[in-house]
Amino acid sequence: MHEVRQTTTKDRYVDMTDKEKVALKALQDLLFEVKLKPRSDKYDPLLFLQDIEYTLQGLWGFSRDKFYHIHTQDYLINGGNV
């Protein structure tokens, strides 16, 4: 089993490769784009947000846990209007 060391997000960012940083930025941009202008005709915005948040958790080295999906929770709380 892979063991994740306890570090700060700053430490984790410093440890990322350049490609991981590019992916992180692209996923964060996409996350905010989907929240501002969901394309429900193309995909289910809720599932799309969840997928992005799971991927971000993996990139950061966090455990994948839906209870930390703040963007998905915002989407649900605001009835799909974030």
The answer to whether residue 1 is domain-embedded is no
Q: 25 lies in which domain range?
A: 17-77
The answer to whether residue 36 is domain-embedded is yes
The answer to whether residue 5 is domain-embedded is no
Tell me the angle at which helices 45-60 and 18-36 cross, rounded to the nearest 10 degrees: 160
Question: How confident is the prediction along the chain (82 residues), in pLDDT tens digits per residue?
Answer: 556 556 788 888 999 999 999 999 999 999 888 888 877 778 888 888 889 989 998 888 888 888 778 788 887 787 766 5
The answer to whether residue 12 is domain-embedded is no
The answer to whether residue 63 is domain-embedded is yes
Query: pTM of the prediction?
Result: 0.74
The answer to whether residue 11 is domain-embedded is no
Domain count, the chain: 1
The answer to whether residue 52 is domain-embedded is yes
pLDDT of residue 26: 96
- 36 — phi, psi (to 5°)? -80, -35
The answer to whether residue 6 is domain-embedded is no
